């Protein structure tokens, strides 16, 4: 479906992502997790063509995305952090119909394609109001509807639930889960461990721009949380891993030789 192979990216001489390889699978949600500055957003932006890797490749169904031009966005859509609609003075319907027109959809077809989602996300009652008067969560739900208009096979989400209230977050994630269960491949980043917990099918752990572990979620929890399935178990596991990684980095910066990392700490799960 979507494959990143050995992608590397630097900004102003600083390495943001180093030799990252990931593959999205239809019907599964892959969560990228890691501390601030780990390279999650840069990786996602390379995945959707907004940032070009310095080295490595990104392909969709075996075709380099750079050669696909605008055709890529009939197969792949993204909802990025703090997505805002371009025309906040326009009403919901006008924004949605404009976006549909960009995909070559008539007003009628746009409304038909979005009708069920608008109802599931409780958006219809807002559509005659100016989008600038909506709450952030309501705007974010419309961003999801807009992203899904072309019927993409891949959906990328970058901190897309940040700032949403519990109801908006529940509705947003329920719609994404429904789409994944119908075969869509999803790549998401989130600092909210409760969003990933029980939602992601696979997980990739990034540290300093490098994938330190990748595999299915259940295996991750067995290995790093001892099979703990209680609420908050993922957050506790990540805190242990990140704290351990930070301690080792501090020792390296002081010129000390860190203890040998245990084999289970950063093994790849694939």
Q: Check pLDDT > 50 for residue 263.
A: no
The percent of residues above 90 in pLDDT, for the chain, comes to 65
Does 264 score more than 90 pLDDT? no
Task: Write down the pTM of the prediction.
Answer: 0.85
> Could you tell me the two tokens for 146?
């807009």
* Ordered structural domains, the chain, with CATH: 1-66+183-270 (3.40.50.300)
* The pLDDT value given to residue 248: 52
Q: What is the pLDDT of residues 62-72, one digit of tens each?
A: 999 999 988 99
Q: What is the reported pLDDT for 157?
A: 93
Give me the pLDDT at residue 100, please: 93
User: What pLDDT digit, counting tens, does each position of 9-25 carry?
Assistant: 999 999 999 999 999 99
- Lowest-confidence range among 86-90, 107-111, 140-144, 220-224? 86-90
pLDDT at 85: 61
């Amino acid at each position: 479906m979507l494959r990143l192979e050995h992608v590397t990216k630097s900004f102003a001489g600083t390495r943001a992502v180093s030799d990252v390889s990931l593959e999205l699978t239809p019907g599964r949600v892959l969560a990228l997790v890691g501390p601030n500055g780990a390279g999650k957003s840069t990786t996602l932006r390379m995945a959707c063509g907004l940032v070009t890797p310095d080295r490595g490749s990104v392909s969709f169904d075996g075709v380099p995305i750079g050669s696909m031009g605008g055709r890529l966005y009939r197969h792949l859509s993204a909802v990025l952090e703090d997505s805002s609609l371009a025309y906040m003075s326009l009403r919901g319907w006008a924004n949605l119909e404009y976006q549909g027109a960009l995909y070559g959809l008539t007003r009628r077809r746009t409304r038909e394609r979005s009708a069920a989602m608008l109802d599931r996300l409780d958006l219809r009652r807002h559509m005659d109001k100016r989008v600038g008067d909506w709450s952030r969560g309501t705007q974010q739900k419309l961003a999801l509807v807009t992203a899904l208009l072309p019927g993409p096979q891949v959906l990328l989400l970058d901190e897309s639930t940040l700032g949403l209230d519990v109801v908006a977050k529940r509705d947003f994630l329920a719609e994404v889960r429904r789409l994944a269960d119908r075969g869509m491949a999803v790549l998401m980043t989130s600092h909210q461990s409760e969003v990933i917990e029980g939602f992601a099918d696979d997980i990739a752990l990034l540290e300093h721009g490098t994938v330190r572990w990748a595999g299915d979620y259940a295996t991750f929890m067995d290995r790093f949380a001892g099979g703990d399935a209680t609420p908050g178990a993922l957050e506790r596991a990540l805190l242990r891993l990140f704290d351990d990684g930070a301690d080792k980095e501090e020792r390296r910066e002081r010129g000390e030789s860190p203890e040998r990392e245990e084999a289970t700490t950063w093994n790849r799960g694939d």
